[in-house]
Amino acid sequence: MERKSKIDATGAIVLIVFMAVLGLNQVGIKIVNDGIAPIFQAGLRSLAAGVLILLYCLWRGSKIDLRKSVLIPGIAIGICFAIEFALLFKAIEYTTVARTSVLFYTMPFWVALGAHFLIPDDKLTGMKVFGLILACIGTAIALLGGKSGMGEASLVGDIIALIAATMWAAIALITRTTQFSSIKPEAQLFYQLSISAVILLPIAMFYGETFTEPTALHFLIFATQVVFVVCIGFVAWFWVLSIYPASDMASFSFLAPLFGVFFGWLILGEELTWNILTALLLVGVGIVLVNRKPKSETT
């Protein structure tokens, strides 16, 4: 497939739909948490999706690269992936989907900050620094402006969501700075799913976290997450990433928390407070500025 220099209509549609799916996915996680314990749910999802991705690789004739230069970063990424989703699922249990969405999708400016120190040709500029400051202010507003009735549990959930965002950023940075980026997208996803399943399922069993009176609705939403979010969604994401400029794609990430806040309000009846809306605006503008190309690069 020929690489393209900018996002066209096809790429934009795929990205917008994927971001909507990610926003809706967090609502699904919160609902399923009532029937399947969070860590066990995350591990079981990785296991089920990992099996499907492996079958897809076998069907396509794709081999899982086990070279040392790929295996070591692959294991590191799998560990980060396990921590990321264990924390994300827990954060949604503690706090609202809206707050989690805003904080979890601060990932792009953590990537920008890490890239400044780890990637020689990806330094912070004045515009990027300003974007980081706006995003940090937005994050602080989200953390400090919660309802008093939500108490300590909300703060715990907020902090967990932020740590999950840094784990997601770590995955992106390891991928960009190692040979792991040279393997096929489906193989990258298989590494993350298989290793996280091996880590999360024993932890969940050790703590006795499994099923908590699940219903048919819980299993239906869970199956939808496995097939449409993890398998189809992330394979589509990696397909877009292989064709379109990553920097152009990054600006679409702001849509995910926007959809998360919207679906949290629409489906769960979560209140749209001033601090969440303000934080969403500041974080979104910050992400756009962080990922904005200088004029010299766009001409």
User: What pLDDT, on the 0 to 100 scale, is given for residue 152?
Assistant: 47
Cβ of 32: how many Cβ atoms within 10 Å? 25
DSSP 64: -
Supply the DSSP symbol for 241.
Answer: H
pLDDT digits (tens, 9 = 90+) for 200-210: 999 998 878 79
Q: pTM (2 decimals)?
A: 0.84
* Banded model confidence at residue 249, pLDDT cuts 50, 70, 90: low
What tokens does 75 get? 């294991």
pLDDT at 251: 65
What token pair was written down for 202?
A: 């024993």
**pLDDT (0 to 100) of residue 295:** 58
- Would you state the torsion angle of the CA atoms of residues 244, 116, 127, 104, taken in this order, to the nearest 10 degrees? 70
Here the tokens at position 119 are 């990637």
Q: How far apart are CA 204 and CA 212, in angstroms?
A: 13
pLDDT recorded at residue 148? 39
Q: What is the pLDDT of residue 36?
A: 94
Among 14-18, 39-43, 44-48, 107-111, the range scoring the smallest mean pLDDT is: 107-111
pLDDT, tens digit, for every residue of 116-167? 888 777 777 888 788 888 888 888 887 776 553 444 457 888 899 999 999 9
Reading the block at residue 70, the tokens are 């790929």
Burial of 40 (0-12, 13-18, 19+ CB in 10 A): buried
What is residue 207's predicted lDDT score, i.e. its pLDDT?
A: 77
Percent over 70 (pLDDT), the chain = 89
d(CA 16, CA 12): 6
Closest to 53 measured CA to CA, from 243, 184, 167: 184
Q: What is the predicted pLDDT for the residue at 14?
A: 86
Concatenated DSSP letters for 176-199? HHSGGGGS-HHHHHHHHHHHHHHH
Selection from 253, 250, 233, 234 nearest residue 105 by Cα: 253
Q: What is the pLDDT of residue 65?
A: 85
Q: What are phi and psi of 36, to 5 degrees?
A: -130, 125
Q: How many helices (H) and strands (E) does the chain have?
A: 14, 0
Summarised one tens digit per residue, pLDDT across range 174-224 is: 988 899 888 888 888 999 999 999 999 999 988 787 998 899 999 999 999
Provide the pLDDT for residue 51. 95
**pLDDT of res. 150:** 42
To which residue do tokens 């393997």 refer? 183
